[in-house]
Structure 1
Amino acid sequence: MAHRLGISAIKNELEDLSFAVLYPKVYEEIINLVKQRTPKRAEFIDGVLDSIQQDLKENKIKAKVDGRPKQYYSIYQKMVVRGREFDDIYDLVGIRILVDSVRDCYGALGAIHSRWNPVPGRFKDYIAMPKFNLYQSLHTTVIGPNGRPVEIQIRTHEMHQRAEYGVAAHWKYKEQAGDTSVAGEEDMVWLKHLSDWQSETQDPAEFLDSLRFEIGAKDVYVFTPKGKVVGLPSGATPVDFAYTIHTDVGHRTMGAKVNGRLVPLESQLHSGDVVEIFTSKSVDAAPSQDWLNFVASSRARAKIKQWFSNERRDGAVESGKELIVKAMRKQNLPLQKLLAADGIVKLAHDLRYGDVESLYAAVGENHISAQSVVEKLTAAIIDEDDSSEPFELMTKNISADRKRSGNSGVLVRGDDDVLVKLARCCTPVPGDQIVGFVTRGSGVSVHRSDCKNVSDLEQQPERLMDVSWAENTKSLFLVNIQIEALDRGGLLSDVTRVLAEHHVNILSASVSTRTDRVALSRFVFEMGDPAVLDHLLNAVRRIDAVYDVYRVNNS
């Protein structure tokens, strides 16, 4: 919202505050990386500033020149969007030049391009063509000293005040300048559109979803036949235009003219087009489901889906129930037992549907597959049947001088001759709080107390066992760790080197990089002395760009 209103000071502050709260470990790592590289970068920026100030002085342009501070969230976003490493992003220097007049803006631009070559395609003239939020500035990127790119913004003091504090600052400046005219609709087109839009949208989730899309979308500006400007996302069609005017106009759309010519409804609009919508007066007028294949705005898409959801719910309920019954018959499953009231109601509740009809409707509308519902119902019935089966401890014939507890490292209170195994879901090691659970045919399974499966096991307290670690065990234990780091070259090599230095036997490893440039590395290894585990984790955490490392469950 602050971005749309052109209040970059609030926008930047909110982004960094939110970044620190939502991704605290990534935020701290970026701060540390910035601190490490600040001295050399400051020296380079000082040299660039001296050169620019000298050129402007020679051209008799009065200006204030300073280095733009790097916003932490902006650095992170560029790493994600551009797929670049931290050093590549942070090396990009930003300079801001504030002058007294528009003429001086272009004079300063010429002086800078005379000294350094501009990067093709990186020049933007937002003075001649302001952004939707009245933002104005000249943007250029040049190849500066030592071949390093330098980003430069040039604007007047008035433009800077508006960019930092938004359209309110723009009105205030006009008042101070003696301009008593009231800001026209063009200054607040988007905010007025937002107000109208909110009044006609009943579902808060739908409104929020559409707002998120609108905030990030690039705009196309078209005109109504009466000359009113309407902002639409890039790739918008006449159907998007119709729903922007009013929901009822969208539902009744039957044709469109663009610049006086009839066009298909799926035609893409371009800035400057004049759009006219033809609507049907029939009481049966309704949107087409095919429109979902080409509409570009989330608002139009949400409105179309909402219409079908409201008008066809009954049909979806019947269709969903038929699909579930058909899937059960195909597998020769007992319909009466699986569709018993308690079972299907509990499943609907577990899947977060308000009632059984909502579950049937979700299946009918392809939000969830009938096969998935049948599998969950079947699994629930099987679990109930299994809980009533008898169970017993499985013992293993071992000699008196070779107790099982000596091999597993775990003692079972009341019986030393019980088969014991360490659960692979949480891989407990000595020092962990543990709990034992009697399995069917496999002795006692030992879990960490914080294992996510323990909550399910506690529902059968009669099968829980008191277990403890043996004092002097010489067993090998499996350890499963996950490492999270900002992606960079040589990261995997540094991690494996640290693990090797601690003499652990790596059994498996998996490495992946998310779209947000966070590298996730998972290692499973054997360790004979769990006492050194904390030391190992601390050593990994000290690796450059690593911001977290912890033990995980295999699941």
Structure 2
Amino acid sequence: MPDEAQPLTAAKPESASAPAAKPAPHASDAKNDTRGPIEHAQSAPVEKAAEATRPKPSPTLDAGRAKGPASAERPVQPPVVRQPAVQPTRTGSSNRVRARLARLGVQRANPYNPVLEPLLRIVRSNDPKIENSTLRQIERAYQVAERWHRGQKRKSGDPYITHPLAVTTILAELGMDPATLMAGLLHDTVEDTEYGLDQLRRDFGDTVALLVDGVTKLDKVKFGEAAQAETVRKMVVAMAKDPRVLVIKLADRLHNMRTMRYLKREKQEKKARETLEIYAPLAHRLGMNTIKWELEDLAFAILYPKMYDEIVRLVAERAPKRDEYLAIVTDEVQADLRAARIKATVTGRPKHYYSVYQKMIVRGRDFAEIYDLVGIRVLVDTVRDCYAALGTVHARWNPVPGRFKDYIAMPKFNMYQSLHTTVIGPNGKPVELQIRTFDMHRRAEYGIAAHWKYKQEAVAGASKVRTDVPKASGKDKDAINDMAWLRQLLDWQKETEDPGEFLESLRFDLSRNEVFVFTPKGDVIALPAGATPVDFAYAVHTEVGHRTIGARVNGRLVPLESTLDNGDLVEVFTSKAAGAGPSRDWLGFVKSPRARNKIRAWFSKERRDEAIEQGKDAIVRAMRKQNLPIQRILTGDSLVTLAHEMRYSDISALYAAIGEGHVSAQNIVQKLVQALGGEEAATEEIDEAVPPSRTRSRKRRSSADPGVVVKGVDDVWVKLARCCTPVPGDPIIGFVTRGSGVSVHRSDCVNVESLSREPERILDVEWAPTQSSVFLVAIQVEALDRSRLLSDVTRVLSDQHVNILSAAVQTSRDRVATSRFTFEMGDPKHLGHVLKAVRGVEGVYDVYRVTSGRSRS
């Protein structure tokens, strides 16, 4: 099993039979080099050292050249005069001068760090007009990363800086923009060093900071048996802000997979499985096939080493005969294209080890049947040439019926475009052909990364780093298609309620099984094979799907469960009734993940809303039987606390459980009354008309000492303000309230400004915590939304022995859940342990304390 896979190559494929091309400039050398990014980075100093060991000209000859043309006219000195100049005993001063001049010459010839030269060579090939100021910014990013990672080592023993440098080289090979390259160099600094995000933003700007922050937050989400789907969803959420975040993450994973041999076997298998189940499918969804293929082969080699070695051996054995047949086919295709005056590049299509394995296992086909099927790729300049080349091929060889697919007119889900056909080639053997333009090929290879490649070409020569999407000149349609594709991906992840279903949707491969149908307006809709008119309706719009009552296909009325075929013209009829909705029976025949998820979400919401209302009614009836004050109890914190104690995420979840019959309303009321100290105590507890007497003040102080004293005043009721929830260590002030004692606020509380308008009511206070002191703390939790997320968070808080008083949660359209908890705790030093424990919950990527409604404190 090879230790390391070959790196990505961004060079265009060349014809198998084309004459050898002239040596390319230095950019192509970097692309066609078989060394990996780390080897590129490490080889630069070695090459320079090799140059330094070459024989140097004598100082006299150097001096003669330095004097210019005039000196050349002087007569040549006799050998006896020149001989002493080369004696070692007389060259000490000359050597020092010559070394200094050599260093100056090297600096003039190569002003950048030699370690960066392989990377910058690729960058220059992507954008020949790139300015030196932009290259300097990339070099500065490397210098910052190298300084902060200095002293850190990888498992291999290499300096850690080799990893971000290798990741950035991969990004450069993909053709990414300078901002992404800088983010690639810095992507581990915020997480693994003391270099903060704010400082990075000041040094390199908002865009680079956004990219680094996105990659850092992806790394915070922990993997686990139940966390993979949440991780994928978080990636797509991050991609919503800037898709380059995900490209960096894929490049990061690719380099880690290339160097996986330094980890323990168990860790290798875990990472390889994550790669196969998450990263490779996501790269496929983004159209980044070069990344996908290499990730799959690397993971395959780790997970199934014996099978991998066997396939490698079989491929090596059959390669000579296959290459010989491939050369014959390629020569004949090129001859026909030249005769038709079609400029084209014809290459053999590589077979990937994991792809061969999948066909052998999944399809049950023999290796010979798979590998002997020759595939070639024809690249032309225009779409017109694609169809002309297709006609030329079909004129020579007979096509296999049913094997022609036009993905140019009807692109795949990931915007893949090409003509596919299978013909009966020489000796009666089948030959697969892909015909596409060079632009289509680049999109097929690099997917979403090609979008920035187009951008760079459109604005080549710009004077500064491009940090956002400019208006593409000449590439508008491609850019629009790419962004429409991104919107389609984001809609796809938003419409999936359950994370497991989301991962299932990710693995749903449209490239192999799909049909194309038409709307009445002539628009093309791609659906999975076996799709029905209901799938079509939901693909058009969610509301259209919910209200569908009938369908017409090719002008004929058909049942909703009918199967659609390629080219069908589909029209659906919708209901205008207010209560119209889907049928549960539809779940038995719909094929698309979108339709299935939307139907389930509709019934879940309808059923939950009804259960919540039924639960509320049951609670009210139970309270009326005991003559309890309904409004005051339901609006207090007691029910919230009880819901959390019973492991429900919020009050609505408790109501829903009551409405669905999981919990008895009478039992809930009894627990509520017991928590308030019995029926009489419950009535007294909620009596808002009773002023805080001194006796009550002493009682509250004894049970929950705020841990604050007022300077110069004894026996005064002190309470901690809920608006800013101060804890020991925070700077505080006291404010005399009317009838409620002294309220203690943080000095930076948003309410201090208004309180300061009455300076006579401001008091000096100081912390004096005791063992009985209790403090309010508010924290905010940002996590990937999933089922039972809040239940898991509240369970962890409960395990940390904090008393939750209130909880609020909001879920954004990007399916990020932002929860705010207010709880009591005795020792504020324990807060750090609480935050760490909450960060360990699957799906949680950020937790911090909040004060006065501000984001962080």
Task: Specify the TM-score bucket, using the shorter chain as the normaliser.
Answer: 0.3 to 0.5
The structure whose Rg is larger is: 2
- Please give the TM-score of this superposition, normalised by the length of structure 2: 0.32
- Please give the TM-score of this superposition, normalised by the length of structure 1: 0.47
- Write 1 or 2 for the structure with the bigger share of helix: 2
